Amino acid sequence: GAEDDAPPLDPSSCIIPKLPRWEPKAIGGASGAEFMYFEDLLPELPNDDWHKEQMPLASRGRVICCSMRKGGSSTLGLRFREAHKFAIHMVAVHRPDGAVIRALLDGQLLPLADAGGSDNRPGETELKLYSPRSTRLLSLGFEPRDLTPGIHELTFECLQPGHMGLEYLWLTQVEGD
């Protein structure tokens, strides 16, 4: 029979290097985008359950998280400087114990336009922050909205309890219809 000429790996053999920090760039599909980190918006979140959690794949090495309860919600204000049609994208944690939520902007449901490799589908308003086997950071894109200058309320409502982790929003101006 065949014999392996390398010794088996043990935990002391495995070294996980610290990943470098990076900032998202406004290029490609995000050309011209403005980025808003949930971590920077955290003081505006009314729920005391929000906290920072280490996540090596996140650009800053961490995300903000909470355990969502069915029927619970969190609302934060997003400031827009000019009137325009905007596409809103959200980078969120997807993991086996992820919550099912829906996002509303000024009280109106935000249907999904781009599922970003998640188990969600375009047009859905119930967002599964679920990944069956591993933890992933995925970008979910919502259908564009016409917005006026000022503060608009982004609300997350929990439909099924679970973990909710958020890294950042990225906003792009959409030309035409």
Closest CA to 172 of 74, 28, 48, 71: 28
- According to DSSP, residue 49 is labeled T
Amino acid 48: pLDDT = 62
Q: Quick one: residue 4, left, alpha or beta (phi over 0 = left, psi -120 to 50 = alpha)?
A: beta
Give the pLDDT score at 33.
80
Residue 175 is predicted with a pLDDT of 82
What pLDDT does 117 receive? 87
Res 23: pLDDT: 74
Local structure of residue 149 (DSSP, 8 states)? S
Q: Counting Cβ atoms within 10 Å, is residue 11 exposed (0-12), middle (13-18) or buried (19+)? A: exposed
Q: In this predicted structure, what is the pLDDT of residue 144?
A: 94
Report which secondary-structure segment, H or E, holds 146: strand 145-147
Q: Block means of pLDDT (10 residues each) for the chain, length 177 residues?
A: 66 71 71 84 65 88 91 88 92 96 96 91 94 91 94 94 94 80
pLDDT of residue 103: 96
What's residue 24's pLDDT? 77
Question: Which string of b and e fits 123-162 if b means at least 16 CB within 10 Å?
Answer: eebebbbbbeeebebbbbbbbbbebeeeebebbbbbbeeb
Q: For residue 73, list its beta bridge partners.
A: 157
Rounded to the nearest 5°, which phi and psi values hold at 40?
-75, -25
Q: In the prediction, which pLDDT does 167 show?
A: 94
Residue ranges of the alpha helices (H) in the chain?
38-41
